[in-house]
A and B are shown apart, each in its own frame.
Chain A
């Protein structure tokens, strides 16, 4: 356990990069959105009030975790940390990060609500469809998808470390083929309405907390499978 905590500290040896960059990126995204909302007066235009700008934060955090595998793992193993220790540490940091980001997003969303959408009617930090009642619930709804993306990032990092560029291309081509195949299958079965109905029948908690958490668990298990024989 001691070693896991030590390894966790490794992830924050230079915290400015790990924590600073995602917030820098998302604040630029926020600034752009705010300016557009203010200049175009989007508050008064029905149906124009949606932005997914907060995705910038999710994507950047995912990239940070890709790098935590591709860059930190070889170094950690160079310092004689086992793969298991590294993975346990990463999982721990991922959980804490996801919850921390969730809480921060919930807080920012609450501020947005209290200030009439930052003065311009902008609902940025928790866009429509991702809104929940209460700070704790909002933290989970915002944090669980973050956990899924972090797990995806770790998974991509593992593929890159274990199988190299060929693995990354395989992952990209494989994903496109599988997703494309599913789209064709669903269209052929004329099942889009059923699928749409299934999703609308689920509660927000299922879709925004349960589903991402399940995805995160599956991806984490796959990532560990790939990581077990990685040679730095």
Chain B
């Protein structure tokens, strides 16, 4: 695998807060990466850095071997579809597609036409007059038909109904199989896209929590249940991400260490199941959330 994009110790500071801190990661060529994280985790900022919309406060961002900021040579190979993309007021659907066709060197007009039919979009209607979901569909069509070597989708599904979302995933996968390229997809609908993803990049409050390929995650993230002491003992040997107890009974999400497998949990007298990507992401994000006691202290101070 070769890298299409690298981030090396990247920090992005705004006046009041730090959006990204010490992020080091690699986006692999011809892969679908899920960029996951809670609201405000820094997903959009990361994408803005990759597409040259922002310059990092610290560290180095390289895409196709060069810095993307104001670099036309890099930018022509990138398509960035973001939630809430603005189109000029007087543009019709057809105008936006015409414009995209002029700009993206590998634009596939046939694909754009067939997607237009799939999503049932009125080509002559002003984009301003489209519903939220149809507006998102315009972005999705541009993103797929651009065939850009690196395509980024930042929560592209807003307002799309379940059928249209399914359509997007199917068409993305089908076109990706025929024309492999690098896709980065940020989303909150983890369950829906889990089967699409080859890699996962989870960020939380500006830091990378998880940077792994989905295949390896499947074998190493477990949810174990059993008597509390046994769960605690087992979790002690691995990485405990989240646990909840009721009486003497515990349930914990762990990441296995040292090549352990589910069988080891069975040997420890616990019942286990593979943790889904969504459960894993929730567990890891909760794991790093500020301790609730601190929140209470804070509240007490306010009421005093």
Contact = CB atoms under 8 A, between A and B. Distances in A.
B53 to A, nearest CB: 5
A17 B95 CA distance: 13
Interface stretch (B73-81, B168-176, B226-234): B73-81
B302 interface: no
Interface string A5-41: 0110110011001000000000000000000000000
A165 interface: no
Contacts of B299: none
A80 B78 contact: yes
B95 A79 contact: no
Given A81-B75, A231-B48, A231-B54, A17 B103 contact: no
A17 B126 CA distance: 13
A82 B52 contact: yes
A50 B215 CA distance: 79
A85 B73 CA distance: 12
Contact of B100 (A7, A79, A85): A79
A75 B85 contact: yes
A7 B76 CA distance: 12
B99 interface: yes
Given A17-B90, A74-B85, A80 B79 contact: yes
Interface string B80-111: 11100111111110011011101110000000
A232 B79 CA distance: 14
A3 to B, nearest CB: 6
Contacts of A67: 88-89
Nearest to A228: B70
B80 A78 contact: yes
Given A71-B88, A75-B91, A231-B53, 6 more contacts: A13-B91, A13-B99, A17-B90, A79-B104, A229-B55, A232-B86
Interface in A199-232: 228-229, 231-232
Nearest to A78: B85
A6 B95 contact: no
A72 B102 contact: no
Interface string A69-109: 00110110111111111000000000000000000000000
B225 interface: no
Interface in B130-184: 142, 148
B71 interface: yes
B72 interface: yes
A112 to B, nearest CB: 32
A80 B88 contact: no
30 contacts: A3-B72, A6-B102, A7-B103, A10-B99, A10-B102, A13-B88, A13-B91, A14-B91, A14-B92, A17-B90, A74-B86, A75-B85, A75-B86, A75-B87, A75-B88, A75-B91, A78-B80, A78-B82, A79-B99, A79-B100, A79-B104, A79-B142, A80-B51, A80-B75, A80-B78, A81-B75, A84-B70, A84-B72, A85-B72, A232-B86
Contact of B88 (A7, A72, A231): A72
B76 A80 contact: yes
